[in-house]
Amino acid sequence: MSDDSRGVTITPGDERYPGLVEGYNHRFTGRPDYVRLVRTTAEVAAALQEAADAGLRPAVRSGGHCFEDFTSSPGIRVLIDLSPMSAVSYDEDMGAFAIEGGATLDHVYRELFDGWGVTIPGGTCFEVGVGGHIAGGGYGHLSRRDGLVVDHLYAVEVVAVDASGHVRTVVATRQSDDPHHDLWWAHTGGGGGNFGVVTRYWLRSPGGVPAAPEQALPRAPRRIRRADVTWSWDGLDEKSFTRILAGYTAWHEQNSAPDSEGRHIWGNLIVLHRSAGVFFLNTVIDEDVPGAAELMAGHLAAITSATGVQPLSVEEQVVSWMDTWMPSYSWPSDPRGRYKNKAGYLRRGFTEHQLAAVYRHLSDPGYDNPMACLVLTGFGGQVNAVAPDATAVPQRDSILKASYSAGAWTDPADDGKHTAWVRAFYRDVYAETGGVPRPDDVNDGSYISYPDVDLADPAWNTSDAGWQTLYYKANYPRLQQVKKTYDPRNVFRHGLSIELPS
């Protein structure tokens, strides 16, 4: 154990070490010299200074839910683990909720709901840590109603390393006259692991200082109307399958404006590979929205009866939000799961070529993986009420997020088979734009919190848009200047980290 002022040191011989270096994706397991468990901002600063003085490359981990090896690559010598830093409180001086960087989403939701009846529009995977989730933008089932999590970010506390190698702690706010305003902006979608260690976020919705904590963030739903639709692959040919996808995307084209009544509805179309036998639509709306039942009925009709394809089942119910629906929708990690994920934004429905490619790969009889899937997640609504340069997230006129996954296998010997399938699937869908979702009238790049190092590989990205454009578009040069100011030694780096300007 180290000096308490620097946290607790866990070395490879410690029985706790294996659990601390393993994360969500078991394709990657780090082997740092040690893991430093930190409990305060001062301990983070001391641990980071020690690593900088010794010339050891650090990485920081909040929840460990990264798709790639950003906290477990072989070059990382020190892993700073924020998991002990999970406090959620209301800061009267800031007029905002203070959330430490190691808190997981389930803890944040419960604390905000039980204490004040408020929430954030974050994700539904409860194990995800806020450290990376918020820095990447943060979205979830309330984003069409309330925007991204970063649209409610008031301030951020960052421990960084300056040009001389000295550690400093900076608090940056969204106030335009804040000298560190650009550092705040960089954490509204610039991605984790780029500028320093985020030890604390302060969250409050845009506007003035709230009169009470209960007014600082969106109100949490009391009850949720949920619909669960199941289709069988049996009897579906390419035409009928395409009608379902086209009906789902068409509804989002027509109902994703910031002021649309449809912004209250959020759904996930989880199209599993044919080997699963079935696939699903899960969709929800706050039951207290006027006309919630009618809005849901219209939504379902556009995707089910309007397509002419009879679902296997349609179940609709009203349940409590925090205690019933939220736990039921969290997707826990497989303790041995290995994954390869890819992603893209949609500005409108897939092209005919893309629909054909989706059908071809998800119905491929030569591949057998019932967990392989395409997930089309509702986006837009209030997300699209924000200008593309107001935060670091530039995708502010999209309607859906597409996630391509060959997930949850456990045998390392199968890595090649599953990664090859999802890579071919993705390249085929985006064959018209160089194998990647190059921004155009249909596609709009990808989401940095679903990182995919293939986008930086010319073997897989043959477009004229580099990964920098796919993730950040015109915001990238500004992010580079923030990197130069706050991490000039490039201490924090990974496979898709912000580059120093040349």
Residue-level pLDDT at 4: 63
CA torsion through residues 383, 384, 390, 391, sign: positive
pLDDT at 3 over 70: no
Task: Quick: pLDDT tens for 368-411.
Answer: 999 999 999 999 999 999 999 999 999 999 999 999 999 889 99
Task: Quick: pLDDT tens for 55-65.
Answer: 999 999 999 99
Task: Quick: pLDDT tens for 304-348.
Answer: 988 888 999 999 999 999 999 999 998 877 888 999 999 999 999
Instruction: Work out the average pLDDT over 231-254.
Output: 96
Model confidence, pTM: 0.97
Closest by CA to 260, choosing from 399, 440, 402, is 399
Sorted by where each starts, the structural domains of the chain and their CATH numbers stand as 4-81 (3.30.43.10), 88-219 (3.30.465.10), 223-474 (3.40.462.20)
pLDDT at 6 over 80: no
Both tokens of 414, joined, read 């199968």
| CB-based contacts of 341, cutoff 8 Å, min separation 6 | 67, 403, 404, 405, 407, 422, 450, 452
- Starting at the edge strand found earlier in the chain, the sheet holding 265-272 runs 313-320, 223-232, 278-286, 265-272, 373-378, 400-405, 341-346
Task: Quick: pLDDT tens for 65-110.
Answer: 999 999 999 999 999 999 999 999 999 999 999 999 999 999 999 9
